Amino acid sequence: MKEITIFHLDTCPYCIKARRALAELKKEVPAYAAVEERWIEEQRQPKLTEGYDYWYVPTIFFGKQKLYEAAPGQDYETIKGFVRNALDAVINA
């Protein structure tokens, strides 16, 4: 089973959109359901963020490879597209 690590903040609107996008994509594309998700809330679990290079959340990693890092101002469709690309990269790895 392949796993992605997602750094997030509970109150971050972009993180909420990414969580929604992941759920929708896993319903739309059955192959994505095989990707496990490990959500790390960076304020509650700061030690788990050590060794990862990112500035914004949500950020998705596959191992230590950064697949997506949100940018301020992204709308839902943009976030969903980047999440889709991240899932595709994991499935095809």
Alpha-carbon distance of 57 to 70, in angstroms, equals: 6
Give the CATH number for residue 33. 3.40.30.10
When pLDDT is averaged across residues 48-58 and rounded to a whole number, the result is: 96
Look at residue 33 and tell me whether its pLDDT is greater than 90: yes
Closest CA to 40 of 26, 54, 25, 24: 54
Total domains present in the chain: 1
- Contacts of residue 5, defined as CB under 8 A and 6 or more positions apart, other chains included, come to 38, 40, 52, 60, 61, 62
> Would you list the DSSP string of 11-49?
T-HHHHHHHHHHHHHHHH-GGGGGEEEEEEETTT-GGGG
What pLDDT is stored for residue 1 in this prediction?
80
Mean pLDDT of the chain: 97
